[in-house]
Structure 1
Amino acid sequence: MDSRRRSFLATAGSVVTGVLAGCPGFLSPSTGPDDRNNTEPELEGAGVRIPDSVESTYPQYQYDAANSGAVPGVSGPTGAIASLFEFGDGGFAPGRRMGSPSLRDGRLYLTEGRVDGSDRETFVYGVDAIDGTRQWATMYRGTNAAGPTAVADGTVLATVGDELVGLDPATGTEQWSFERSVQPGITVDGDTTYVVGRRSGRPTLYALSVGDGSLDWETTVNADTVPVTPAVGEDTVYTGGNALQAFDVATGETRWSADYGVTAPATVTSERVVVGSGTTVRVFDPADGTEQWNDDVETYGNLESPAITNPLAVTDGTVYAVADRGLTALSLTGSRRRYAVEMGINGTPVVADGYL
């Protein structure tokens, strides 16, 4: 058994303990000092309604396989924001960090990486989306990865170190693992997941079955380092590094390649493929890779080598790109700049109900 494998697992109502490398331990689903979650009981009295249920879903980073960053039918907060609960302290404790969560059926799924001296651990959590109660936790030793998760029918996907794992969403039990080197960044389209990594030193795109982790196909990507996280539109998957490349989703065969360096994952619409290329937004025809237009984003001198590295958000009419701690909004149909604003942080834009 791999020494990084689960050393203990907790589910709501039961605790299973085990031993790896001579180090026993357990996790309890009940609230306690190590749960690090805090529900705010006075919020309703302060005029904030605590929801009875969470019906919406956020199945993966940037919402969908196209990396659109646009969430339909959901309204985000527009006034003062109150915390319903806090889970974890990755943003405040040295050596701990939390990954971007996914959401389905009222439960959040997320990772936490921990470093304590020479010890490194990654936890994958299932958390109640209403009150932050931990439903289960699965621990892996020897890594402190904290990448985004994805959730599909019957499977939670997470990268643990350089390995992709599939877990049961109800219990956190590991269902399968893909033991080739992959990077954080998981794209799910139907019953297939796409990840990138390096095999024998070659940058590689993998297509796997969500259900059992079996490999459908793999192909080499033109990149000096690890390719950007894949995006999927129609019957094509897009990734790249030294160039933007389009591959057939069924076979992995190359459909076209555009010789522009890619620094951020693509975002795909029915008529356009939008990517970050250094400090430039480039837009391509998905049919043949012809560049439709490009425009530079605003920079502010905050970083020595600014670049668009996070996925862009794309709505029906606007492209939102973040670089050098600033946000630039461009018209999707041409290179007309709508506005630019310095924010002081580099984040990943998401749009819901007209708000960014």
Structure 2
Amino acid sequence: MLQGSDDDSNTDAPSLYRTKYDWCVPGDLEVDSVVGDTVLGRRDITERRSETREAIALSAETGSITWSYETERDVDHFTAVTVDDGIYLTRGGPQDGNGVVALNMDGTKRWIVNTAVGYERPRVANDTVYVADSRVYAFDVASGDLRWEYNLQGSRLSPTIVDVTDTVVVETGYTVLGLDPTAGTVRWEFETGDQVIGEVQLSDGISYVMTSDRIAASSDGAEQWRTEFDTTTAQTGESIVGTTSDRVFVFTSGDDGDAHQLQAFEVATGERSWTSEPIQPIVQPDFEWTPRTTVYGDIAYLGGETLRAIDATTGDELWQASVGDGPIKTLTVINNGAEADHTVFVQGGETQLATFTPDGEQTWSHSVNAPDRVSAIGEYVFVGTDNEICSLNRLEKS
């Protein structure tokens, strides 16, 4: 087993044991990605040394640890890993533990740059690693050398790199910037005045910018349209759920946090196409759960007390299904390779997992002990608590 750290040392890894899952590994471990037959993630190891995290790789088939990488500095967070030609993440610590970490695919250190960075995972494109804090930084993927930096002067909120295509798009709280990916110079700006930006998404070269009371479309900084949310129910924007070729979808809530709705807007004009019926939050004795929603292809999926599939063009309900004793706590769409072929993965209530085809046929189910978190990546399902992470292959288990 290969292990690494800032000083190429580490302590022994946790033991592996088997249950009704394919495998379980003790420890507080977050899974970020599956690449081939390797599971990549991060693990909290504060029981061994105060305020320490490590990146870790496991065999997807057996759960055995392939390698682990522990930083030598006190670190209170690692971001989720970004995988490209290597593995990239940022780290933050109470004193001088901030920086960008680049690892080779075998877990050995490629380079580390000690600099102030935010809590967002790095973006990798054009042989460059992009990160942001009070500045936007661009580092060479091979060497870690600084290619350029841009000072976000006057930024009042933590910036986020939204996407990197032919432009580095950065959201700074009240402004969306388009930076040249090679030189770091400003190509365009889009300002929202006194409206704090809630979310930005890019699709086909258009930036969709959501604030608390509106959704706007911008092309190279020029506003194409702006539409207010439904004022009759005092709706507030919560998230941009997704886009299709002709619509952008926004999840909103009432001014007191209830009466959630999914609203669809024409991408060309901003005209509201349809608004879903109000979706009430799920209130149980120990928690209040915000409904889950996502859009894939021509279907919008809503997870409340049941799983509902909505025609993304018309807003009409296609089907609905109950999973366990409800509500839907996890909702993920898994791409099966073909353009429209996908699988819908859900967790219903505390213990029931299930998958559905786009037309509502249930294809798999599995019961688990009430986990803290559940995720699905490809054929693998990961069930985690603060004490362990377990895996099963949904294509082999029933």
Query: Is 1:181 aligned to residue 113 of structure 2?
Result: no
**Are the counterparts in 1 of residues 237 and 250 from structure 2 also a CA contact under 8 Å?**
no
Query: What secondary structure, in the 3-state scheme, does the structure 1 residue paired with 2:217 have?
Result: strand
- What percent identity do the matched residue pairs reach? 16
User: In structure 2, what is the Cα distance between the partners aligned to 1:27 and 1:298?
Assistant: 58
- Which structure is higher in strand share? 2
User: In structure 2, which of residues 267, 273, 281 is the aligned counterpart of residue 336 of structure 1?
Assistant: 273
The verdict on how the C-alpha distance between 1:165 and 1:117 changes in structure 2, with shifts beyond 3 A counting, is: closer
Give the corresponding residue for 1:102. 33
Give the corresponding residue for 2:377. none
User: In structure 2, what is the Cα distance between the partners aligned to 1:16 and 1:215?
Assistant: 24
Query: What secondary structure, in the 3-state scheme, does the structure 1 residue paired with 2:174 have?
Result: coil
Query: Is 1:281 aligned to residue 215 of structure 2?
Result: yes
**Are the counterparts in 1 of residues 216 and 223 from structure 2 also a CA contact under 8 Å?**
no
**Are the counterparts in 1 of residues 42 and 78 from structure 2 also a CA contact under 8 Å?**
yes
**Are the counterparts in 1 of residues 27 and 44 from structure 2 also a CA contact under 8 Å?**
no
User: In structure 1, which of residues 93, 113, 123 is the aligned counterpart of residue 54 of structure 2?
Assistant: 123
Question: Any residues of structure 2 matched to 1:6-21 within 5 Å, and which?
Answer: 12=1, 14=2
TM-score scaled to structure 1, two decimals?
Answer: 0.63
User: In structure 1, what is the Cα distance between the partners aligned to 2:4 and 2:112?
Assistant: 20
Aligned residues: 275
What whole-Å deviation, never above 9, does each CA across 1:63-85 have from its counterpart, x for those lacking one? xxxxxxxxxxxxxxxxxxxxx55
What whole-Å deviation, never above 9, does each CA across 1:3-22 have from its counterpart, x for those lacking one? xxxxxxxxx3x5579989xx
Cα displacement (A) at 1:210 = 1.9
Cα displacement (A) at 1:252 = 1.3
User: In structure 2, which of residues 88, 104, 107 is the aligned counterpart of residue 157 of structure 1?
Assistant: 88
User: In structure 1, what is the Cα distance between the partners aligned to 2:148 and 2:5?
Assistant: 37
**Are the counterparts in 1 of residues 3 and 10 from structure 2 also a CA contact under 8 Å?**
no
Query: What secondary structure, in the 3-state scheme, does the structure 2 residue paired with 1:180 have?
Result: coil
Give the corresponding residue for 2:391. none
The one-letter amino acid of 1:319's match is V
User: In structure 2, which of residues 91, 103, 106 is the aligned counterpart of residue 167 of structure 1?
Assistant: 103
The one-letter amino acid of 2:161's match is T
The verdict on how the C-alpha distance between 1:234 and 1:114 changes in structure 2, with shifts beyond 3 A counting, is: same
Whichever of the two has the greater Rg, that structure is: 2
Question: Any residues of structure 2 matched to 1:47-196 within 5 Å, and which?
Answer: 85-86=23-24, 90=28, 98-99=29-30, 101-116=32-47, 119-140=50-71, 141-153=73-85, 155-161=86-92, 162-170=98-106, 172-185=107-120, 186-196=122-132
User: In structure 1, what is the Cα distance between the partners aligned to 2:230 and 2:46?
Assistant: 36
The verdict on how the C-alpha distance between 1:25 and 1:192 changes in structure 2, with shifts beyond 3 A counting, is: closer
User: In structure 2, what is the Cα distance between the partners aligned to 1:136 and 1:123?
Assistant: 10
Query: Is 1:239 aligned to residue 239 of structure 2?
Result: no
Give the corresponding residue for 2:204. 270
The one-letter amino acid of 2:166's match is E
What whole-Å deviation, never above 9, does each CA across 1:274-302 have from its counterpart, x for those lacking one? 233235433212x343242334389999x
Structure 1 spans left out of the alignment, 5+ residues: 1-11, 42-83, 91-97, 198-202
Structure 2 spans left out of the alignment, 5+ residues: 93-97, 282-288, 295-331, 336-340, 346-398
| Cα root mean square deviation, aligned | 3.8
What whole-Å deviation, never above 9, does each CA across 1:51-102 have from its counterpart, x for those lacking one? xxxxxxxxxxxxxxxxxxxxxxxxxxxxxxxxx5555654xxxxxxx55613
**Larger relative contact order (CA 8 Å, sep ≥ 6):** 1
User: In structure 1, what is the Cα distance between the partners aligned to 2:237 and 2:161?
Assistant: 16
Query: What secondary structure, in the 3-state scheme, does the structure 2 residue paired with 1:103 have?
Result: strand
User: In structure 2, what is the Cα distance between the partners aligned to 1:136 and 1:307?
Assistant: 42
Cα displacement (A) at 1:216 = 1.3
Give the corresponding residue for 1:73. none
Query: What secondary structure, in the 3-state scheme, does the structure 2 residue paired with 1:230 have?
Result: strand
The verdict on how the C-alpha distance between 1:130 and 1:206 changes in structure 2, with shifts beyond 3 A counting, is: same
User: In structure 2, what is the Cα distance between the partners aligned to 1:300 and 1:213?
Assistant: 50
The one-letter amino acid of 1:176's match is W
The one-letter amino acid of 2:127's match is D
**Are the counterparts in 1 of residues 240 and 249 from structure 2 also a CA contact under 8 Å?**
no
